[in-house]
Structure 1
């Protein structure tokens, strides 16, 4: 039980530390509302569940052993984060007169629930640090005599569910103050900050060593 509690504590610290997943969730919530934010969170959690499954099945070990494959995923994920960041910066510099005529409903149509979910999945799967994290974290909390596929996967799934709960809470809080945050001046400022953060995170993913 103490080992499991230690896992929950470490997982909570990792999850609440802001990173690409948090930035993407906030961006999509601001862009299209609570539903899009929650679907982004669900996509991110699904991506983590896939990483957990891959770790449990030994696939991640193959990924980490293949430098070209690891680098391909790393650069693809970094490019995607930078792409989302550039989109946010574009929104930040849009003419205020034009954005005043755009209703919340019209904005929501630019990011469907399916698209938000897809962005969450791609954002998480495109971060190879998750592979390194799962491969290094999970074995520490699974006793050697119980190192089975199911044991690893259950811990990974718990981590994904904790992430989902945290990011959904983020989406709810952001959407509650969404009307204020969507005021033209405030929205453009936040889009600029979010875009810059996403680009910085993308660059960091690209240049970081394992």
Structure 2
């Protein structure tokens, strides 16, 4: 493996770019507070580790090369993202004090934050494509890929964890300042729309 520090620097810039994971973490942090964001992040990190092992074992290459497998995973992920976004928007359409209280103070135990984070990342085949297109750039020609891919995957996951926990901290404290229901509903509506947008974008994308 070569240029490890360059890999770390590039990974940091890529990780902080907004994506489906960021949108889901934002939504669950706003709805379920800090614990919801942490559970969602843990689900995402578990999925990243699985993607790492898939890249190491060569499974990601199979998925990328198989149009059928790629399409199945891609559309499953797209449908799930659209479902999450639509669920948020539907909850905001419900009027009345009871519905508003339910939206504002959800039951953390009933909100599958971990599962939402895990499925959002594991059902995104673009992550597999990213690993297989980004990681080889930092491997010496002619050398093995198993150990370098494993190191890079773990590094990428750890950097993602640091960023997600910082992001959750910021979102939690920003949301604490937004006491008015209208402000929270606006943010939830925007987040739901963004998640649906990412779902549609994923469905329209093709493997390179």
TM-score strictly above 0.5 = yes
Mapped pair 1:147 → 2:144: yes
In the other structure, the counterpart of 2:59 is 59
Alignment-derived partner of residue 93 in structure 1: 93
Residue 34 of structure 1 deviates from its aligned partner by 0.3
Superposed, 1:65-144 pairs within 5 Å as: 65-102=65-102, 106-111=106-111, 115-144=112-141
Contact kept? 1:99, 1:184, Cα under 8 Å: no
CA distance in 2, matches of 1:166, 1:131: 20
User: In terms of mean alpha carbon deviation, does 167-176 or 122-131 score higher?
Assistant: 167-176
Separation in structure 2 between the aligned mates of residue 103 and residue 138 of structure 1, nearest angstrom: 41
The 5 Å alignment of 1:1-210 reads: 3-102=3-102, 106-111=106-111, 115-181=112-178, 183-210=180-207
Deviation at 1:172, TM superposition (A): 1.3
SS at match of 1:192: helix
For residues 61 and 85 of structure 2, the distance between their equivalents in structure 1, rounded to whole angstroms, comes to 31
Q: Deviation of residue 64 (structure 1)?
A: 1.1
Quote the Cα distance in structure 2 between the aligned partners of 1:120 and 1:101: 24
Q: Which runs of 5+ in 1 are unaligned?
A: none
SS in 1 for 2:167: helix
CA deviations on 1:93-126 (whole Å, 9 max, x unpaired) are 2325224544966432431xxx211111110011
Alpha-carbon distance between aligned partners in 1 of 2:9 and 2:66, rounded to the nearest angstrom = 32
Distance 2:100 2:199 in 1: 31
1:91–1:191 Cα contact (<8 Å) kept: no
Indicate the SS of the match to 1:17: coil
Whether the 8 Å contact between 2:74 and 2:202 is mirrored in structure 1 is yes
Q: RMSD of the TM alignment (CA)?
A: 1.9
State the TM-score, normalized to the length of structure 1: 0.91
Residues 96, 147 of structure 1: alpha-carbon distance in 2 compared, 3 angstrom cutoff: farther
Structure 2 stretches of 5 or more lacking a match?
none
| TM-score of the two chains, using structure 2 as the length reference | 0.92
